[in-house]
Amino acid sequence: MRGVSMPTHQYAQQAEAYLQPRIPKSSTPGECSKVVVPDILSLAMTTRAYTRVVMRLRAQAESDARVFARSHVGPVSKPATQDGQVVRSSSSRTPSPTSLYSHGKSSSVSNSAGGFQSPLVRLHRAPLLRVFVPSPEGEWLSDSSVVECEAELKRAGVLKLLRVGDVVWDVAVGDEGNLGRMVWDGSYLVDLDYKYSRMGELSPYFHSLAFSPSYFHRVIRTGVNAVLNPGGNPIVYLDLSPWGQELAANLQLLQDRAMTATPHGTLHSVVHWLHRSSFTIRPPVSPHHPHAYSHSQNLRLPIPNVAGFFIDPGWYGTVIVEAEGTNEGLADFQARCGPGAFPPRADNVTSKMRSEKEKGSRRVYRVLREKSRPGEIWIRAVREKERVM
């Protein structure tokens, strides 16, 4: 299959050759000069076929995972009775979120569930679909180029199969960083956001709780900043005000040790203060079968204050939030918890102006990959001063 065997950088080379001024070339005198033009239609058809294969593999992977889950979940048994009284056993306890849930689904349903394995598709990860649209404007796609990318998805016949969060890559732009990568929002392709990363991050238009914390891992590449983001942790957009009371009750001021890099590249271990708190996202349980995990698998927990979106099971469990250990960091954390979580602060004119300026960044966090694990997600508050654009 050409779409798999052809190196991705050759798409950009062919697009560049197509966009260059067409100068006739003649090898010997007397011969008719010919214009060498890359076969753009063939390349476009190659990416359409590749996209169709990826969508087919995703459907197969999800089907195999459902069959695997049904075959490994036993039927719900009625509680045993003795002399008319219910006999409770240790098996009737509700399973803990930590033991049941990992990044995306239960630990029993892994990426190799049902024996399905493919280098093109991974369960609970965003697919990377391809289109081929040469961009006359260069690396930055114009509105007309984005519309043409959407038209290519329609020509591939996958428009009705797309889901919110699917990543589409215009391979004609290049393979450096996140060039040419866009995210499907349900109706249109949305460009990446560059406020906190020069390589691009997920747009704040999307609700990160609707995707697992690792959903865009290695699909949307994350830039490394020696000072602001040495671990290459991704940006997520979360509204934590519905859990503000719980965050306020668990808030602590702690000392922590971290590795920092100097401008010369050397690493130093430093001790700094930080504010740390946590809240719990509990999985929904059917009221008719409170002890049956098989029945609660199909239930979904809606995102508070967001209509039509549901929390991905990868967030179930404990979410630990870190913020700066300064007075400004504390004020920013309190503002993120929403009104009523903390007593009102006596702000002066300067603090009010700073608060108004940072109002737009109160949903911005970074997932700390090095600390996170299934059932326990660590995030760090990102403030306005970390913006790069």
| pLDDT classification of 22: cutoffs 50, 70, 90 | low
Q: Are 64 and 113 contacting, i.e. CB atoms less than 8 angstroms apart?
A: yes
The two tokens of residue 387 are: 């913006």
CA dihedral 64, 66, 68, 74 (to 10 degrees): -160
d(CA 344, CA 191): 38
Per-residue model confidence (pLDDT) at position 129: 97
For tokens 């930080």, name the residue.
274
β-strands 267-281, 252-261 pairing: antiparallel
The answer to whether 301 and 337 have CB atoms below 8 angstroms apart is: no
pLDDT in the model for residue 373: 94
Q: Give me the pLDDT at residue 257, please.
A: 81
pLDDT at 128 over 70: yes
Concatenate the DSSP letters of all residues of 169-221 into one string: EETTT-SSTTTTEEEE-SSSEEEPB-SS-SS-B--TTS-GGGS-TTTTTTTS-
Query: What are the backbone dihedrals phi and psi of residue 58, each rounded to the nearest 5 degrees, phi first?
Result: -65, -45
C-alpha of 328 from chain center:
29
The whole-angstrom separation of Cα 262 and Cα 76 is: 58
- Nearest-angstrom CA–CA distance, 175 and 276: 38
Q: Does pLDDT of 90 surpass 60?
A: no
pLDDT in tens, 292-348: 444 445 688 999 989 889 999 999 999 999 999 999 999 999 999 999 888 887 666
- Record the pTM: 0.80
Contact 238, 204 (CB under 8 A): no
What's the length of the chain? Answer: 389
Q: Give the tens place of pLDDT for each residue, 166-219.
A: 999 999 999 888 999 999 999 999 999 999 988 899 999 999 999 999 999 999
pLDDT digits (tens, 9 = 90+) for 234-283: 999 999 999 999 999 999 999 988 777 676 767 778 888 999 999 999 99
In this predicted structure, which of 70-74, 124-128, 184-188, 195-199 has the lowest mean pLDDT?
Answer: 70-74
Higher pLDDT, 288 or 68: 68
User: What are 152-166's pLDDT values in tens digits?
Assistant: 999 999 999 999 999
Is 167 or 36 the better-scoring residue by pLDDT? 167
